[in-house]
Amino acid sequence: MTSYPIAAATVVLISPATPEVLPAAAWPVLRSAEAVYAAADLPEVTRAALDAKAAPHPEVLARVPRVVLLAASLDDPGAAELVRRGAAVIETPVPPLVRAVEVMDRLRSPGGCPWDAAQTHESLLQYLVEETYELLDAIEQQDRAAMREELGDVLLQVLFHARVAAEHDSDPFDVDAVADELVTKLVNRHPHIFTDGDAVHTPEHQQQRWEQLKQAEKQRESVIDGIALGQPAAALAGKLGQRTGRRELPFDLFPAGADEGSKLFRIAAAARRAGVDPEGALRAVAKDFAAKVRAAESQARRHGVDPARLDAEGWRRFWPRG
């Protein structure tokens, strides 16, 4: 444990994201202080809990012996003046995830980034979709550096939407409320782990239990309630096929038309019932096809042929074999 000597003046930095947390090293300093003041940027919950008085002007503050100033940042004028005169600084350790929340809050707050401040849930939707697909691509490429970066970008979208939600006039909620609801859901959906619920021994059994508990929680009236209709079409058809399969809806009730949409629906829905992700399977084939197109174009260039001038026979000539 780090030991801090009792200095003539000490600045204790409190994280706005965790205003009720004080570093352990601050307690002996607080107990021995002759005066404890709160900077203007200190979270009110911290000031009230410690019954700290509002800090005087920095010049006056600096003349108080064995003074402790509680502040959220060294940008506070009083904190900056004390540090300039040699005050000790004790910081609250901030986990990176909490730090990310703090950064998002600062970007969105007055004096932050104008672009961030102007965003809405609706304007951010395109970035949520883009970042999700970029993460998907990184996972499929097994590029761990890219995965780490793209997971961060997806996390940014969660933090951004939660910060925007906190500003709602009639129904605000923040990232803590989001996390709390997630924890409640995970605990409730795993009673065999967190309570004395019946044991689950296979992934299939857990998936079945999850759906049963979700159905009971949300009191859904239809087997397809909760399916996101805005997802890609192949994934949507597959999900509808999977959900209806749990209720034993027969294949002969699938769309029977001869149009291409009906045919594609039957293929995707049947694939998902058979345990194959149609979106992933189709994407894998599409990416392989795209790679072969690029390979054929490269081969054409190596033979002095402009790919833009390829006809059907030209494509067949340069198409990769195997």
* DSSP-derived secondary structure for 106-144: HHHSTTS-HHHHH--HHHHHHHHHHHHHHHHHHHHTT-H
Q: Where are the domains of the chain?
A: 9-93, 97-188, 227-270, 279-318
Can you say how many angstroms the Cα of residue 115 is from the centroid of all Cα atoms in its chain? 20
Give the tens place of pLDDT for each residue, 89-100.
999 888 999 999
What's the token pair of residue 101?
A: 């929340």
Average pLDDT over residues 139-143: 93
Give the tens place of pLDDT for each residue, 249-299.
999 999 999 999 999 999 999 999 999 999 999 999 999 999 999 999 999
pLDDT band at 114 (very low <50, low <70, confident <90, very high): very high
* CATH topology classification for 97-188: Helix Hairpins (1.10.287)
Give the tens place of pLDDT for each residue, 31-63.
999 999 999 999 999 999 999 999 999 999 999
Question: What's the whole-model pTM score?
Answer: 0.70
What's the token pair of residue 91?
A: 């910081």
Say yes or no to pLDDT of 146 above 90.
yes
Say yes or no to pLDDT of 4 above 60.
no
Average pLDDT over residues 81-109: 93
**Predicted pLDDT of residue 191:** 84
Give the tens place of pLDDT for each residue, 202-236.
877 777 776 676 666 666 778 888 899 989 999 99
pLDDT band at 3 (very low <50, low <70, confident <90, very high): very low
How many Cβ atoms from other residues are within 10 Å of residue 241's Cβ? 23
Residue of 107, 123, 228, 226 lying closest to 159 (CA atoms): 107
**Predicted pLDDT of residue 7:** 55
pLDDT band at 18 (very low <50, low <70, confident <90, very high): confident
**Predicted pLDDT of residue 5:** 43
Say yes or no to pLDDT of 134 above 90.
yes
How many Cβ atoms from other residues are within 10 Å of residue 234's Cβ? 22
Distance CA 178, CA 158 (A): 9
How many Cβ atoms from other residues are within 10 Å of residue 230's Cβ? 8
